[in-house]
Amino acid sequence: MPGFIYRHIIRFILLILCLPDIFIMSASAANYTAPLILTNDHNASSPKLLKKVSAGAFDYYLYKGGKTSPKDRYLRTYPEPVPLPEPEAVPDLNPAPEPTPQPIPKPVIAYRTDIVGYIAAPFLNRQYGFNSMGSYHERTGASVKHTQDGAWARVGGTHDNYDIGHFSFDSDIRYVQIGKDLYQDATPRGNDVHAGVMITLGDQKTNTSDSARGLVGGSADTGDISTDAYGIGGYYTLKTHEGAYLDFVGQYTAYRTDFHSESDASQDGYSVAFSAEGGIPFAITQSWRLEPQTQVIYQYLHMKGFSDGIASVEKTTDSSVQARAGLRLSHLPQIDQPNITPYLNLDAVTTFSDAPAVTIGSTEISPDFTQSAWKAGGGITAPLSRNSSFYTSVNYQRGFDGKQEGYRGNIGINVSFK
């Protein structure tokens, strides 16, 4: 939005909310500078805003002091920067050259409380899409051979904490995924081929905060985001009798995101994702196997634009690729042992694109979320009956940059109807 429109909007608001002797000299919201306010009566008491002034992505705060007069008034989107303290002087018989003055810290923008959720939602929905795709072993357990005419179901969840500058996000994902084999075949060499469909029902709840708001006397708590997700997809898997596999998955997911903050708003969207994964186990001993794995997921995300009554939020589109490389160490049961398969895993995961940028009014904000992380964990597969098995796994995950930390769990069941 052009700067002159902001000037007219803020001038009108000030006529209503401020003392009558205030007028605007300049404004440039897109550059985060505030309108300069002068008073006709410099001896007047300090004016106060009767209500909050909000425009675009920002809240505006009234401050005293300017270049032309210490009694000038400014509307700003950031608090007064505090210079770094100078070290105490210590007498020195051989004084060194004068140190270079430290620059004044860059102002921290205090966005509207609603904005914190708006800029995170596309990234969080993208993460839901990646997490709900899962991996082959998360979906099927650790069985070497597929069941005949099989069906499976699993419940998964993640908890993640993200810290990006003065923004923080505490996010929980939960989903239920159910799949059914529609096609299965066995080759003369003993290889299994099977394909099926799956549905995924899930939600995501995220608490948001902005520590910069404490600098202007506000609360760091900025509300929460709630997302409902509905997915449908399919899979095609080829597995050899030695345990090597190729797994292909596709999934469409529809999102309904509700923002709970000062201005309640909603956003709809969808994603389409495709995964290709492979693994080859190698025997270390008679009962232990080491399986290198690789997985690549492509995801397209589209979130519709909306308005919250103060500013419009443009639609967000994003194409991203996530890659995973890992190792899985598993113990195979012997003939005289219970048919239980425990395993440990270690993975490195990276996304080859930045978090989606979000445009509010004329301001584009690109949140700096973690793109690469490692995770470590383990799981177990055990029989429940002759035609069913149970499997579960737990993983800890941490960003290589230290800005993300979380854990994920998975529990499922495989059933054969033959």
Q: What is the pLDDT of residues 180-206, one digit of tens each?
A: 999 988 888 888 899 999 999 999 999
Two tokens, residue 131: 């997490």
Which of 41-55, 97-111, 160-174, 370-384 bottoms out in mean pLDDT, i.e. has the lowest?
41-55
Residue 102 is given by DSSP the state: P
Percent of the chain with pLDDT over 70: 71
Is pLDDT above 90 for 20? Answer: no
3-state secondary structure 39-82: ECCCCCCCCCCCCCEEECCEEEEEEECCCCCCCCEEEECCCCCC
Is pLDDT above 90 for 78? Answer: no
Confidence of residue 110 (pLDDT cuts 50, 70, 90): confident
Owner of token pair 């299965």: 184
Q: Which range has highest mean pLDDT (79-88, 90-99, 226-235)?
A: 226-235
Identify the residue with better confidence: 59 or 333. Answer: 333
Please answer whether residues 377 and 395 qualify as being in contact, where contact means their C-beta atoms are separated by less than 8 angstroms.
yes
pLDDT score recorded for residue 96:
63
Two tokens, residue 11: 């001038």
Residues 195, 61: Cα–Cα separation, whole Å: 59
Two tokens, residue 150: 């099989």
Mean pLDDT score, 326-340: 82
Please answer whether residues 310 and 52 qualify as being in contact, where contact means their C-beta atoms are separated by less than 8 angstroms.
no
Residues 408, 346: Cα–Cα separation, whole Å: 14
Backbone φ, ψ for residue 82 (5° rounding) = -100, 120
Whole-model pTM: value is 0.81
